[in-house]
Chain A
């Protein structure tokens, strides 16, 4: 049985709880067991702009905790994933900063020897569980549902570090969506940034990027944009809602659904157990695309 240390990060437990809830539900059904390590801290991502030491120390402490528990990590957030992978790459080299980090961790009785694998939730589904197993679990496949898959930058790039999928022509999420019976539409801006990294810094820029992507996905015929990252999800859910309420035509709305919500409904899991109503924008109508059992 596959067992992982679940790395939730900071956003999910407070701003995107339904991601936690729905991911746990589908993983349980698919036989992946999770261990919660309460001592995990921030992945270091938001510190990279201002302090490399704070970034590295934060990231590596998590790796050391997982290593101590003898578990690989299952990460739900693209930015956490990118940050932890980056830290792993940095720690593979020798240097003053690395040495300093090791010393600070040792004060707490922790050490990091590079013996931990960092996997994104989607990679675990795709590689460890496998498309075939998932297919068998789909009890109510979707019909005529068009999904715009959104990868999220920090799993794809820099590909040498993240090693998630082909950075230019990825297919992992598209395949995971297709297996539910939904159609993954082609949309030119699929691999562009959602805008979240500059939310709070330059909101115009941030919202412009979001809007452009949503218009593009809508033009491609998508009913929903499918996310698997709390930052992207906040942007396409919370921020989109604000954009629409400020100046938008509600007909422009393209709600975001988290991948485990999409998958879970297809597996016949009740929407309440997947936090469907916890999304800021209403996605309840997605169930109308489900075929009868």
Chain B
């Protein structure tokens, strides 16, 4: 009664959760331009898109991907055989347990006429599947907690996934072991199936089960008389063997029974069977009810991501469907960390202490952001930096075992964030190359606005400091602490020949360079010599410097002009960040 009630409650929560999650795939907004589509429009586009695929040759692609990437998980195998072994053990073990054992009454009994959970091969298979999941979990625990895998980060959800599976598996194995060892279970079954009256017969059967099937007993003790065992064997063959294979086949439970044998009778009296039974089922129900809201939801979302990405493309897919897919992909991410292992920008994450530069961590925080959770200003800043500090090398997309199109996700989220969050110094660095190459996807104003704002923020007080009517106080000793090299101070050797400015291709590009660039290279060197780093670090010249090193190469005094411009940029960024 309680069992049924709990089952239906957890099934109910699970189903509602699924509906809710599917709904969020269509209702949540992600990335640039996602606001213009309604939930209904996205649902309609998805139906159209899916129908179009199902009635085309792309169906064959779907079938292929389902077999190779969902069932056999080839993408994971290619990247990391150990992780593949871990996942395939858990995935296949769990799926088979679910189908054969958990849904035994619905599936196994209807497919196999001879299905009986205590008969082989089923008795053995249940143990085997359980052992598969259990070994997979051991590898998972080692990977997450023992091996030091660089940049593999584990969060509460990763812990939950391991813990819930571990509780289900361990309670299941112990339940089986306890039932094997339990005198109560033996005596109930004896009464039900053998119904022996003679005390000597009962003891003979019991002795046989103690010797052969892992039973613990308070009444009979080893060593047994051979005759008693033989009599027990006869009774076993008459009453038990037809429906019960040797418990040795249930090797995990049998080993557990052996392990707990010294305390089994005591545990049995204390009601361990009932306790483990509740623990096992409650853990299963909890896992089921919480599945749509936990990392385990990837069981559903990841296959969808693999399938969707195999048939969608930038050129042919509608924007509505791309947005829907991108929301779904956040659920498909299993936080396995493969992307972060190969992320080109990984060292920037270490240097800047910003985890969101790593793709796997970006996925976690994007999930919160898309959910509409309130993020602190600092967090938002870190996310913007995280999505911008990306070399667009596509490695994350290539290696993702869930087939997530991270490349397009970053592009669209990046644009959305720079439009909303304002100045980001990295916009004025080569990280903007890809945005420049994709310029045609944006309106001129949308393209220019964040760049303009960043320029303005980095210029700081430049206009004020360099007002013609303002008197500038020269500093006696130039502040040199911010310089990377000790000998970068050679700007004081500058004798004002202006060669740097003469050879600069940026200066040559403008009719009135002083007006366009704020300060020219030689003026910036003067500023440094006079200690006016504040003015120098605000000049627009810095941010359009090509770093072609013409100035530095040609300087007769060997002033490291380009390197100094780099350092002034670093200084300006640092100031803005503080």
Task: Give A residues with C-beta under 8 Å from B.
Answer: 9-11, 13-14, 38-39, 41-42, 44-54, 57-58, 61, 79, 90, 93, 95, 97, 104, 108, 153-154, 156-159, 167-168, 192-193, 195-203, 205-206, 208-209, 231, 234, 238-239, 242
Q: Which A residues are CB-close (under 8 A) to B553? A: 156-159, 167-168
Question: Can you name 8 extra interface pairs (CB under 8 A) apart from A10-B391, A50-B426, A206-B436?
Answer: A10-B392, A38-B342, A47-B348, A50-B429, A153-B549, A157-B552, A168-B553, A199-B437
Q: Which A residues are CB-close (under 8 A) to B432? A: 199-201
Q: Which B residues are CB-close (under 8 A) to A54? A: 347-348, 351-352, 389
Give the distance in Å from the alpha carbon of A242 to the alpha carbon of B134 in the complex.
57
Chain B 347-371, CB-CB to A under 8 Å as 1, else 0, gives: 1101110000000000000000000
Partner of B427, one of A57, A90, A201, A208: A201
Partner of B569, one of A50, A90, A154: A50
User: Are B549 and A61 interface neighbours, CB within 8 A?
Assistant: no
Which one of A9, A42, A51, A79 has the greatest number of beta carbons of chain B within 10 Å? A51
Give the distance in Å from the alpha carbon of A153 to the alpha carbon of B505 in the complex.
12
* B81 at the A interface (CB under 8 A): no
Given A58-B347, A208-B509, residue A90 in contact with residue B485 (CB < 8 A): yes
* B372 at the A interface (CB under 8 A): no
Give the distance in Å from the alpha carbon of A97 to the alpha carbon of B485 in the complex.
10
Interface size on B, residues (CB 8 A): 56
* B550 at the A interface (CB under 8 A): yes
User: Are B437 and A193 interface neighbours, CB within 8 A?
Assistant: no
Give the distance in Å from the alpha carbon of A13 to the alpha carbon of B342 in the complex.
13
* B430 at the A interface (CB under 8 A): yes
Question: Which candidate, B40-48, B160-168, B540-548, is the interface stretch facing chain A?
Answer: B540-548
User: Are B433 and A200 interface neighbours, CB within 8 A?
Assistant: yes
| Pairs A–B under 8 Å by Cβ, sample size 10 | A49-B430, A49-B570, A50-B569, A54-B352, A108-B150, A158-B562, A168-B553, A193-B548, A197-B547, A200-B430
Which single residue of chain B is at the shortest CB-CB distance from A44? B347
Given A93-B485, A153-B547, residue A49 in contact with residue B429 (CB < 8 A): yes
Q: Which B residues are CB-close (under 8 A) to A202? A: 543-544
Given A51-B573, A157-B549, A167-B553, residue A203 in contact with residue B347 (CB < 8 A): no
Given A10-B391, A53-B351, residue A200 in contact with residue B344 (CB < 8 A): no
Residues of B435-482 contacting chain A, CB below 8 A: 435-437, 439-440, 451
Give the distance in Å from the alpha carbon of A54 to the alpha carbon of B552 in the complex.
23
* B23 at the A interface (CB under 8 A): no
Q: Which A residues are CB-close (under 8 A) to B343? A: 41
Nearest first, the 7 A-B pairs at minimum CB distance are: A200-B436, A200-B432, A157-B549, A10-B393, A10-B391, A49-B429, A46-B430
Q: Which A residues are CB-close (under 8 A) to B395? A: 13
Per DSSP, are chain B's interface residues mostly helix, strand or loop, or mixed? helix
* B263 at the A interface (CB under 8 A): no
* B401 at the A interface (CB under 8 A): no
Task: Give B residues with C-beta under 8 Å from A.
Answer: 150, 342-348, 350-352, 389, 391-395, 425-437, 439-440, 451, 484-486, 505-506, 509, 543-544, 546-550, 552-553, 560, 562-563, 566-567, 569-570, 573
Which single residue of chain B is at the shortest CB-CB distance from A192? B505
User: Are A205 and B506 interface neighbours, CB within 8 A?
Assistant: yes
Give the distance in Å from the alpha carbon of A288 to the alpha carbon of B509 in the complex.
37
Q: Which A residues are CB-close (under 8 A) to B429? A: 46-50, 201
Partner of B433, one of A47, A58, A153, A199: A199
User: Are A50 and B347 interface neighbours, CB within 8 A?
Assistant: no
Q: Which B residues are CB-close (under 8 A) to A198? A: 544, 546
Min C-beta distance of B369 to chain A, whole Å: 23
Partner of B346, one of A41, A154, A234: A41
Q: Which B residues are CB-close (under 8 A) to A238? A: 437
Give the distance in Å from the alpha carbon of A239 to the alpha carbon of B433 in the complex.
11
User: Are A57 and B548 interface neighbours, CB within 8 A?
Assistant: no
Q: Which A residues are CB-close (under 8 A) to B566? A: 48-49, 52
Which single residue of chain A is at the shortest CB-CB distance from B394? A14
User: Are A50 and B505 interface neighbours, CB within 8 A?
Assistant: no
Q: Which A residues are CB-close (under 8 A) to B563? A: 158
Min C-beta distance of B359 to chain A, whole Å: 13
User: Are A193 and B505 interface neighbours, CB within 8 A?
Assistant: yes
Give the distance in Å from the alpha carbon of A203 to the alpha carbon of B430 in the complex.
12
User: Are B344 and A42 interface neighbours, CB within 8 A?
Assistant: yes
Min C-beta distance of A103 to chain B, whole Å: 11
User: Are A50 and B391 interface neighbours, CB within 8 A?
Assistant: no
Give the distance in Å from the alpha carbon of A61 to the alpha carbon of B426 in the complex.
22
Q: Which B residues are CB-close (under 8 A) to A38? A: 342
User: Are B430 and A51 interface neighbours, CB within 8 A?
Assistant: no
User: Are A51 and B351 interface neighbours, CB within 8 A?
Assistant: yes
Given A10-B344, A200-B433, A206-B436, residue A42 in contact with residue B350 (CB < 8 A): no
Partner of B347, one of A13, A41, A167: A41
Q: Which B residues are CB-close (under 8 A) to A156? A: 549, 553
Give the distance in Å from the alpha carbon of A239 to the alpha carbon of B547 in the complex.
19
Give the distance in Å from the alpha carbon of A192 to the alpha carbon of B549 in the complex.
10
User: Are B391 and A46 interface neighbours, CB within 8 A?
Assistant: yes
Which one of A9, A49, A97, A196 has the greatest number of beta carbons of chain B within 10 Å? A49
Partner of A200, one of B435, B546, B548: B435
Which single residue of chain A is at the shortest CB-CB distance from B573? A50
Given A13-B393, A108-B150, A209-B509, residue A51 in contact with residue B562 (CB < 8 A): no
Partner of A157, one of B345, B440, B544, B548: B548
User: Are B548 and A192 interface neighbours, CB within 8 A?
Assistant: yes
User: Are A41 and B543 interface neighbours, CB within 8 A?
Assistant: no
Which one of A46, A195, A201, A238 has the greatest number of beta carbons of chain B within 10 Å? A201
Which single residue of chain A is at the shortest CB-CB distance from B562? A158
